[in-house]
Amino acid sequence: MSNRPTGITILAILALLGGLYLLFMGGFSTILGPMVGQEMTAQTDDATAMAVGGAMTVMGIGMLAIGVFQLVAAYGLFTLKSWAWMLMVITQVLSLIMHGFSLTAPDKTPAVVAIVIAAAILYYLFRPNVKQAFGRT
């Protein structure tokens, strides 16, 4: 589409790459979680090993879900679906909230960088030409 803003194309490509990465890492974590838990039983008690393996598996399933979500967002951005604009706004607001809690960590740099990126994406999404590309006024 010739009327798709360049920034949207960039966001769509990043969402596609991020989604594929999360699918890979999520699958990896989901498969390895039980194996890690079983391997840990030789070095620690069963409850701790099961907790670590279970947490790794749950995190993997979460990454798989977010990966699929990002692939759907990438499709919507590439095709300028009106729902994709709202999807991006919601995800960036959630990112701001989530990384806001991360400001309590000793190293605040990753949280600050993530907040700046999410704020910049939100600013861009509310630009008149971007909203118009998604059929929003």
Does residue 4 or residue 52 have the better pLDDT? 4
The per-residue pLDDT for 13 is 96
User: How does pLDDT run across 45-103, given as a tens digit for each residue?
Assistant: 888 888 888 888 998 998 899 889 999 999 999 999 999 999 999 989 988 998 888 88
Please report which confidence band the pLDDT of residue 2 belongs to, taking 50, 70 and 90 as the band edges.
low
Q: Where are the domains of the chain?
A: 1-80, 81-137
Distances (CA, A) of 24 to 28, 55, 107, 136: 6, 17, 27, 34
The per-residue pLDDT for 1 is 46
54, 46 in Cβ contact below 8 A?
no
- Confidence (pTM): 0.79
67, 26 in Cβ contact below 8 A?
yes
Does residue 41 or residue 81 have the better pLDDT? 81
Across the chain, which distance is largest between two alpha carbons, in Å?
Answer: 61
How far is 30 from 62, CA to CA, in rounded Å? Answer: 9
Tokens of 70: 């990002």
